[in-house]
Amino acid sequence: MLLKTHVKRSKGNKMGTNNPKREVLPLPDVLAPVNTICWCIELPDDEQHLAAFWGALSALGKRYSWGKPLTADSEVVASYWRTLIQSNMESFEDVE
């Protein structure tokens, strides 16, 4: 099953710096689901690729990734993702 989302790009920093535009995800209807699922995905066996993977995934733990304007709900979703990501990183490190 593939999930499609509508991703908006923010307009970047208005101060004229060269910050790249960020993807802004719509807030989910359920901010912190009780249940989780486990996916098995293939990743490159390369330290730099793995660092890039975890870095990209960590964007889900940033409140500015969730909705415009930022709300308390943005922080709830980001905090939920930070917890999941941290747990997965610890599990990954235990396997290595």
Mean pLDDT of 32-50: 94
How many domains does the chain contain in total?
1
Tens digit of each residue's pLDDT (9 = 90 or more) over 44-69: 999 999 999 999 999 999 999 998 88
Q: Say how far apart CA 85 and CA 96 lie, in whole Å.
A: 17
Residue 92: pLDDT band (50, 70, 90) is confident
User: Considering the domain boundaries, does residue 88 fall inside one?
Assistant: yes
pLDDT at 13 over 50: no
User: Considering the domain boundaries, does residue 15 fall inside one?
Assistant: no
User: Considering the domain boundaries, does residue 32 fall inside one?
Assistant: no
Categorise residue 67: left if φ over 0, alpha if ψ from -120 to 50, beta otherwise: left
User: Considering the domain boundaries, does residue 25 fall inside one?
Assistant: no
pTM value? Answer: 0.74
Considering the chain, what is the average pLDDT of its residues? 83
User: Considering the domain boundaries, does residue 89 fall inside one?
Assistant: yes
Q: Say how far apart CA 77 and CA 59 lie, in whole Å.
A: 12
User: Considering the domain boundaries, does residue 95 fall inside one?
Assistant: yes
User: Considering the domain boundaries, does residue 16 fall inside one?
Assistant: no
Give residue 87's domain range.
60-96
User: Considering the domain boundaries, does residue 65 fall inside one?
Assistant: yes
